[in-house]
Structure formats: structure tokens, C-alpha cells
Amino acid sequence: MIKEIIKGELILNRRIIFIFIFLLLATFSCTPLSEGLSMKSQVYNADNVDFYYDLTYKKDGETHYERQIWDQAYKILDEAQDFFLMDIFVFNDFVGKGVEEKLHPLPLAEEFAEKILEKRKKDPNVEIYLILDESNTFYGAYDNKMHKKLEQAGVKIGYVDLMKLRDPMLVYSAPWRLLIQPFGNPKNRGKIKNPIYEGTDKVTIRSILRALNAKADHRKLIMNENTAMLTSANPHAEGSKHSNVAFKFSAPILKEIYNAEKPVARITKKDGSLKRRLPNKDFSKIPFSSNDKLKIQYFTNDATAKDISEELKNTQFGEKVIIAQFFLADRGIINDIRKAAKRGVKFEIILNNSDAGLPNKAAAGELMKYARKHNYDIDVKFYNKGEEMYHVKMMSILKKNYLITYGGSTNFTRRNMRNYNLENELKIMSAYDQKVSEDILDYYDRLWTNRDGDFTLPYDTQKNEKFMNDMLFRFMEVNGFGAF
């Protein structure tokens, strides 16, 4: 009897110790969000917002590529008189195994870097700031040679310290922070072949483990003192043929957008040439607009999700929502779609057509089964992609008298919408007689109806409604295990 009591106490003590260790690990993984990283601006009138896109598609058995975005980015760089700022996720030409042969990528990063070097020679007094994700050095494993060349020319570069961001995956992140992160990650001492990209310097085990703690500075902002552009695109060889969108504009909102980058600069790594700061800038010369037919608002991080959710909740019978997304997975947004459809809102959804069933085909399957069961008006098509991706992050709500559009870096996923990644988004509220409304709706119509190309594929020919696919999707999204 005494032995059984002692044995029971030992088991209980082990459980208590296990719970204590887990709670300790969880505490180490709970990084509070730095002040200012999540914000929403005031609403501003705008005289003009220009819509651009890159588009890869099939037509008559051949692949076609239309390119608009990067020429506009170079124009913003060339027209800069005071400063040029780019906060962007990927700025390199690393490619994975087999990508060169399958995709024939364009060296966008090298092309952009050359444009920056030309600008430094032409206008040496223009300050150039680059805020980038750690993935560009494979999470601190080595120096990026192209970036070093830019720094030598006077460009100020800062890599966001991802340890300053919240962890999306407690099961991995907690032990990583306690047992691996404190030992640092020595740069340029790697001995392991890069497991993702070909032809880079070797990496360390600790950089690989840091990469697995998946989160990112995923923002996509390009601006000077007069003009800004938000895009879904990266200057990156592997993504050079992706289909993307961009919005370019000028308004006093630029002051709020620039100031929203200062907290990001403060959490860049201390060894960066940016020195963790952006100087104050004067935007007072940008005139206020009296055009109340076109309004814009800026969001970062979870402020985007809150506003999108609120607008979806406000949709009414007879209205229409068009979603064009690389990833659709966030549980809150999926529930908002279901509830809106129940109220009689029509949905047309275009998703990247990944061979994997996750997350898009599982999310689409859930929505389509729900629509069939209740006879709701939800329709999904998959983008007819090749080796490239349909990388767009956009949603529009067709109200009676005006159009609401969101565009930027934010995928509809937990990591992108719930304060794990750094994200940014532009909200455009435009009357239907505004050019940006006409351009956006024409873009959607072209893809949905396959006008002058084979852009989208019917849901039924690409669907995956298997039970296990649905269960795996729900488990991975809740626990942060997916790459989405």
C-alpha cells in the first residue's frame, strides 16, 4: 500500500514538473508585440490611385507574361529627391532546386540593385533605406553579397530581428527560445549546404532551426517623399513570374505610412547599417485632396484583419464580394464569409491552384460544401498557374454606390492576420466612376471569364474535398504548423 502511494506521488510530481517546464517554455515564447507595429491610419481623400499587375497566363497553348509593377517601382526610385524606402520580404535572386530549368526566372533583385546603384551615382544626396527580412541572409547564416555591395555605395540596410515578433507555433517556438536562441547564430561559419536555395554560401544548423520558427517581415512597401506603392510582389528571381498586383498613390497619408516604418526600423538587428532608425521626414508639401469619391486608409498587422472582418460583417443581401488570394486559411475570415453568404451576399473567389490540398483546396471545399448544403451563392475558381504562383492578396466588396478594395502583403491566414508576421495593407474606397474602380473590376472580370486567356479553372475539376485533407488543414492552421 505504501509503495503504491509513493509511486502515485512520484507520477503526480513528474506531471507537475512537466507542466511547470511547459509553462516556463511558453513564457519564454510569449514575445509582446513592440509598440507601433500594429496601426491604422486616418482616412484620406486621394486624387488618384493607380492599379498595376504582373500576370502570367496561358493562351493558345503558350505561356504569356505581362509585367507592369517593377517599372513603377523603378520610377518611384528614379523620381526620389529626398529619400527612397523599401520595406520588403524578399530581395534576392536565390532559387531552389530545379527552379531555373522549370521557371526560367528573371534576376529581379539584381536588376533592382543595379537601379539603386545608378541612383546613388546620379543623386548621391538622396538617402536610400532598405528594411528586409532575415531570410535574405538565410536567418543570419551569411552576408548577402549583393546587399553588401549596396551598403558600400551608401545604402542603409536593416534586417528585422524576427525574435522580436510573436511566435506562431508554441510547440516548437517555446523550446527553441529557451534551448537554442540564447546561443546565437555565428555568421559566415556555416558548414551545411543550404536546404532551400542552390548556389548560396553554406548555412549553420542554428540558422535552419531559426528558419523553422516560421515568421517574417512580410511587408511590401516602396515609397519616396511624394509617392508610395503597396504590392504583393517581391523583387526575387524565384517569384519573378508570379502573378501579383500593386497600388500606387500620392496623398498626405504618406506621413503615417512612413512613421509606421519607424517601429520596424527599431527592431532591425543592431549590426545593420540602418542603425535601427529612420530620420524624421517632412511630408507637408503633399497637398490634401478634395476628391471625396476616392478615399484611402492604411493598416498594418492585425489591424487589417479587424477592418476586413468588420466590412464583411457589414455586407448586406444582394452585395458581392470578390476575393483573389494566394492563401485562404484564416478561421475568422472563413467564418465571416459563411455568415455573409447566409445573409445573401454573393462570393466569387480566385485562389492559387497548388497541387497540395492545403490550405486553399481544404478552405474552398469547406465553403463550397456549405454553399451546396444551404444553396448559398459562393463560387470558387483556381488560377491556371504553371510553375509560378498566383501570389495576389486582394479583396473587393461591391457596395451599391462604391467599391471597397484591400490590397497589400496580407494573405488570409493566421500568421498574416493575427500579429505574427509584419504586414501592411491599403484600403481603397472608390466610386464606380473612378478609374481605379474600373481597372480593378476589369481585372477581376478578365480572370473570372477567361477573357483573352485561360486564367482560371472550374472548381469541380480541381477540388479536394477529402475528409483527411480538411482535418489536417484545421489542425495545421490552429497550431501554426503550416507554411501558410
Decide whether 44-266 matches 294-479 in CATH topology. Answer: yes
State the CB neighbour count (10 A cutoff) for residue 463. Answer: 16
Closest to 94 (Cα-Cα) out of 155, 153, 138? 138
Residue 48 main-chain phi, psi, to 5 deg: -160, 140
* Cα separation, 431 vs 141, whole angstroms: 49
| pLDDT reported for residue 416 | 96
Q: Which fold has domain 44-266?
A: Endonuclease; Chain A (3.30.870)
Residue 262's alpha-carbon distances to 129, 224, 270, 470, in angstroms, are: 11, 15, 15, 41
Residue 459 confidence (pLDDT) above 60 = yes
With a cut of 60, say whether residue 188 has pLDDT above it: yes
Determine the Cα–Cα distance for residues 368 and 381; give it in Å rounded to an integer.
11
C-alpha cell at 176: 527553441
Is the pLDDT at 158 greater than 70, yes or no? yes
Domain 294-479 has CATH 3.30.870.10: yes
Give 379-405 pLDDT, tens digit per residue.
Answer: 999 999 999 999 999 999 999 999 999
How much is the average pLDDT of 326-338?
97
pLDDT digits (tens, 9 = 90+) for 342-353: 999 999 999 999
Q: What is the pLDDT of residue 216?
A: 96
Q: Grid coordinates representing 177?
A: 527560445
Average pLDDT over residues 282-305: 98
- β-pairing, 294-300 vs 62-66, is unpaired
Quick check: 20 pLDDT over 70? no
Average per-residue pLDDT for the chain? 93
Residue 267, pLDDT above cutoff 90 = yes
Give the range among 27-31, 89-93, 126-130, 284-288 with minimum mean pLDDT: 27-31
Judging by beta carbons within 10 Å of its beta carbon (0-12, 13-18, 19+), is residue 483 exposed, middle or buried? exposed
Q: Where are the domains of the chain?
A: 44-266, 294-479
At 10, the pLDDT band (50, 70, 90 cuts) reads: low
Q: What is the pLDDT of residue 111?
A: 98
Q: How high is the pLDDT of residue 483?
A: 64
Measure the CA–CA gap between 59 and 429, rounded to whole angstroms: 33
pLDDT at 32 over 80: no
Cα Rg for the chain, rounded, in angstroms? 23
Q: Is the pLDDT of residue 231 over 90?
A: yes
What number is the average pLDDT over the span 226-237?
98
Average the pLDDT over 358-372 and give the result: 96
Which pLDDT score, from 0 to 100, does residue 250 have?
Answer: 98
How many C-beta atoms lie closer than 10 Å to residue 57's C-beta?
A: 24
The alpha helices in 322-423, defined as continuous H runs, are 331-342, 360-374, 414-417
Q: Cell numbers 540596410 correspond to what residue?
A: 157
Question: Are the C-beta atoms of residues 194 and 144 closer than 8 Å to each other?
Answer: no
pLDDT of residue 31: 65
Band the pLDDT of 477: cuts 50, 70, 90: confident
Residue 354 pLDDT level (bands cut at 50, 70, 90): confident
Residue of 330, 302, 306, 308 lying closest to 321 (CA atoms): 308
pLDDT of the residue at 309: 98
CB 329 within 8 A of CB 473: yes
Q: Which of 157, 300, 128 is nearest to 218 (CA)?
A: 300
101-154 pLDDT per residue, tens = 999 999 999 999 999 999 999 999 999 999 999 999 999 999 999 999 999 999
Q: Which pLDDT does position 355 carry in this prediction?
A: 81
- All three cell numbers of 346, joined, read 454573393
Q: What is the DSSP string of 403-452?
A: EEEEEES--BSHHHHTTSSB-EEEEEEEETTSHHHHHHHHHHHHHHHTTT
